[in-house]
Amino acid sequence: MCNLYKMIGIGISGRLRNMLDHRMAQRIAEKTTDICGYPVTIIDSSGLIIGSSDRSRINTIHGGIDAVFQHKQLIEHDEEEVKDIPGAYAGIACPIVFTDNVIGAVGIRGNPDIVRGYIQLIKNQVEMMYQQRLHFELSKIRSDAFDLFIQELLYGQFNSGQMKSLAQVNNINLDLRRYAFAIKVTDKTARTQPDNLDHEKFLEVIHNVIDSITEFLQEPQTIVCHTNNDIVSIFKRHHDASTPMEEFEELYEFLKRKHDLQFLVGAGGECCGITSMRSAYQGAHQALSIADRLGYSEGILSIQDLFVERILLEVKKEVVDDITLDPSLIQFLSPRNKGLHETLYCLCDNDLNITQTAKKLYIHRNTLLYRLKKMKQITGLDPLTFRHAMTLLLLLHMQKLS
């Protein structure tokens, strides 16, 4: 991380000094030679030849080109002139100019009267290739700076000075109100995620989802990042026009329409500043973890609605085991009674309303009553009374969370 801090501190000017590396210079010399048909040479700012179609000249000094570096001038030498200049050949050399700095020179060997028409073309080609290299370097710096900011924000030791500097480099205002979400992305065709998928292919899926999120939100101060194998985390800027959950539900529906994927979302709460952003992030991931353990495959669950489940997570395993030793409870909690479990969940979600529960389950009222009677026969608890229904629900949650 220290190297990255140093790189960010130095900035792009430090990169420019090292842009004329030997490998790239040789590739450019060979490519431009193929284009014009005349030998091309790339020289660094000290006069050292670092790329040439004539490989015997590499790492030798090119003579007679001081004016190129000192005055940014094009120079020409004919056969007579180069007789007294060591390391020089007849031809033309001109500066490679970058952000108004001469970072090297390009030379083309041959009769100046013949190769003169090629030098501007070669110069433009070389400078364009270095522009592409600069663009890549800038993108890499930005990417590294953003990754470092996220790592320090979520997992690092707080240093307010460093965090402010990293936020400034990434144009992030830490004083804005945001809401934290964690999205688990699952490919519907994979039995497990992401083990059964090619890693590179799944990374592409994740990046496509991130692009879709950015496209939909169009909010530069919303932070979107890939924080785990199959998890995308979002610190969504909060506007007062609507609630964060309402805003996010629109994004959730957009993602479902655009991608043939499953999205399970944990919402972590509002945050402002480094400390609360980390806390909200942890809350979002805990909500996601609880939802996953409870068997949800998609939907949005808020940590603020999971108080009971968070309390149950604190119950020791020995206590859970002791409670569930009763033979009747063992029978009820058995995977064979999955249908009864789903019926109980639906009953509780619908406030113990028989008609609404039967409608949600797409079953006849009498079928529902039969299932509820069977639960009472197995456990001795009546799921139509609030206390007994809550007891059965807590038992199911304890089993899944333990």
CATH number at residue 375: 1.10.10.2840
- Whether 117 is in a domain gets the answer yes
**Which is more confidently placed, 157 or 29?**
29
Contact 45, 132 (CB under 8 A): no
Whether the CB-CB separation of 25 and 50 falls below 8 Å is answered with yes
Question: What is the rounded average pLDDT of the residues 140-157?
Answer: 84
Place of tokens 């009374």: 385
Question: Which range (126-130, 192-196, 305-309, 394-398) has the least confidence?
Answer: 192-196
3-class SS shares of the chain: helix, strand, coil, % to 5: 55, 15, 25
Residue 279 lies in a domain: yes
Residues 254 and 335 in one domain: no
For the chain, the domain total comes to 3
User: SS in 3 state form for 334-372?
Assistant: CHHHHHHHHHHHHHHHCCCCHHHHHHHHCCCHHHHHHHH
What pLDDT digit, counting tens, does each position of 43-88 carry? 988 889 999 988 999 999 888 888 888 888 888 988 888 888 888 8
- Confidence band of 3 (pLDDT split at 50, 70, 90): very low
Query: Does residue 92 share a domain with residue 21?
Result: yes
- Which pLDDT score is estimated for 117? 85
> Looking at residue 104, what is its pLDDT?
87
Claim to verify: residue 306 and residue 179 sit in the same structural domain: yes
Domain presence at residue 7? no
Same-domain status, 91 and 210? no
Give the residue-averaged pLDDT of 248-259: 93
The pLDDT of residue 161 is 80
- 163 assigned to some structural domain: no
pLDDT tens-digit series, residues 195-243: 555 777 888 899 999 999 999 988 889 999 998 889 999 999 987 766 7
> 157 lies in a domain?
no
Residues 328, 301 share a domain:
no
Residue range 147-151: mean pLDDT, rounded? 88
Residue 251: which CATH number?
A: 3.30.70.270
Query: pLDDT averaged over the chain?
Result: 85
DSSP states of 261-279: EEEEEEEEEEE-SHHHHHH
In order of 40, 49, 74, the CA distances from 57 in angstroms are 11, 7, 21
- Please tell me the distance from the alpha carbon of residue 302 to that of residue 270, in angstroms, as a whole number: 11
- Among left, alpha and beta (phi > 0; psi -120 to 50; other), residue 282 is alpha
Separation between Cα atoms, residue 105 and residue 119, nearest integer Å: 11
pTM score of the predicted model:
0.65
pLDDT computed for residue 385 by the predictor: 94
Clarify whether residues 62 and 134 are in a common domain. Answer: yes
Domain coverage including residue 370 = 317-401
Given the DSSP bridges, would you call strands 101-109 and 261-271 parallel, antiparallel or unpaired?
A: unpaired
Residues 365 and 282 in one domain: no
Distance CA 17, CA 179 (A): 42
For residue 400, pLDDT over 90 is answered with: no
pLDDT of residue 256 exceeding 90, the answer is: yes
Verify that 296 and 362 share a domain, yes or no: no
Can you read off the two tokens belonging to residue 282? Answer: 């942890």
When mean pLDDT is compared across 3-17, 71-85, 239-253, the lowest value belongs to 3-17
175-191 pLDDT tens trace: 999 999 999 999 876 54
On whether the CB atoms of residues 287 and 266 are closer than 8 A, the answer is yes
Grade residue 23 by pLDDT with cuts at 50, 70 and 90: confident
Alpha-carbon distances, residue 155 vs 129, 147, 183, 274, 287 (angstroms): 38, 12, 19, 11, 18
Residue 71 has a CB neighbour count (10 Å cut-off) of 11
pLDDT digits (tens, 9 = 90+) for 96-123: 887 778 888 999 999 998 888 888 888 8
Q: Which helix (H) or strand (E) segment is 391 a member of?
A: helix 386-401
Contact between 64 and 85 (Cβ < 8 Å): yes
Please give the C-alpha separations between residue 313 and each of 39, 169, 289, 293, 348, in angstroms, as whole numbers: 73, 40, 11, 11, 20
d(CA 224, CA 209): 10
pLDDT surpasses 50 at 364: yes
Domain boundary among 252, 287, 310: 310
In a domain, 5, yes or no: no
Does the structure show a pLDDT above 80 at 134?
A: no
Q: Which residues contact 287 (CB under 8 A, 6 or more apart)?
A: 182, 266, 267, 268, 301, 302, 303, 306
What 3-state class would DSSP assign to 66?
helix
Give the model's pLDDT for residue 353: 95
Contact 306, 361 (CB under 8 A): no
Q: Does 75 lie in the same domain as 59?
A: yes
Three-state DSSP at 202 gives helix
What strand order describes the sheet that includes 178-187?
A: 223-228, 231-237, 178-187, 261-271, 299-302
Comparing CA positions, the residue from 294, 296, 269 lying closest to residue 184 is: 296
Q: Is the pLDDT of residue 316 over 90?
A: no
pLDDT score, position 185: 93
One-letter identity of residue 15: R
pLDDT at position 13, please?
Answer: 46
Residues 235 and 348 in one domain: no
Residue 165: inside a domain, yes or no?
Answer: no
- Same-domain pairing of 273 and 215: yes
Same domain, yes or no, for 294 and 324? no
74-113 burial string, b = 16+ CB within 10 Å, else e?
Answer: bbbbeeeebeeeeebbbbbbbbbebeeebbbbbbbbbebe
Whether 167 is in a domain gets the answer: no
Percent of the chain having pLDDT more than 90?
Answer: 39
Q: Are strands 75-77 and 178-187 parallel, antiparallel or unpaired?
A: unpaired
